[in-house]
Amino acid sequence: MNTPTVVRRMRAADIHAILEIQADCYTELIPESAESLLAKLAASPATCFIASSGQRQIGYLISIPWLRSSPPLLNASTCRLPGHPDCLYLHDLAVQPAARGANAGQLLIAAFMEQLAALRFDCAALVAVQSSAAYWQRHGFAAVEPSPALAAKLASYGSNVRYMMRSAT
C-alpha cells in the first residue's frame, strides 16, 4: 500500500532533509546554504512547506512575499521582506527524484496557491532554473522579458533561466 503524501508548514528542524533534497535536485547550480534557506523560512514561515511520505521528507517549497520587479538574490545570507510586497515569490520547489510521481509537487503548489489567495496578491513570480520553464507553464506561469537590471540579477541563477509570472486567479 502506498503511503499518502502530506504537506505541512516547514520548520527549521527540516533543514537537513531540505539540504539533501536540494543536493539531489540541483545539478546546474550550486545549492543554497542552510543559512540562506533558513533566513527565508524565518522571514515568512506561513509560505514555506514540506512534503512527506510516511516519516520521509520528499519535497519542499519556499516562497516569500516580495517585489515582482526584483527577485531576491540567490543564496543571500539574510532575508528582509520588502515593506510593500506586491507578489508571492516562489523561490524554490524541489522533489526527490525517486519520489516524483507521488503528487508532492502538485500538493506543494496547491499550498502555495492557497497562500497566494490568503495574502491577496494579484500575482506570483519565480525564476525557472535548469530549463524548467515548460513545467511552470503547465502551472499557469508565463515567461516575462526581463529588464536589463532584472537580467543582471538573473545571472546569479545560472544559465537556462527564465523569469516567470502568473495571475493569482
Q: In CATH, what number is assigned to the domain containing residue 111? A: 3.40.630.30
Contact 164, 127 (CB under 8 A): yes
Average pLDDT over residues 73-100: 94
Buried b / exposed e across 11-28, counting CB within 10 Å, b at 16+?
Answer: eeebbebbeebbeebbee
| Percent of the chain surpassing pLDDT 90 | 79
Reported as a pLDDT band with limits 50, 70 and 90, residue 90 is: very high
Residue 17 lies in domain: 5-167
**Mean pLDDT throughout 133-142?**
96
**127 contacts 167 by C-beta, under 8 angstroms:** no
What pLDDT score does 1 carry? Answer: 45
How many domains does the chain fold into?
A: 1
pLDDT value of residue 128: 96
Is the C-alpha dihedral spanning 52, 20, 44, 11 positive or negative?
positive
The DSSP 8-state label assigned to residue 169 in this structure reads -
Residue 163 in grid coordinates: 523569469
Q: How far apart are CA 162 and CA 114, in angstroms?
A: 24
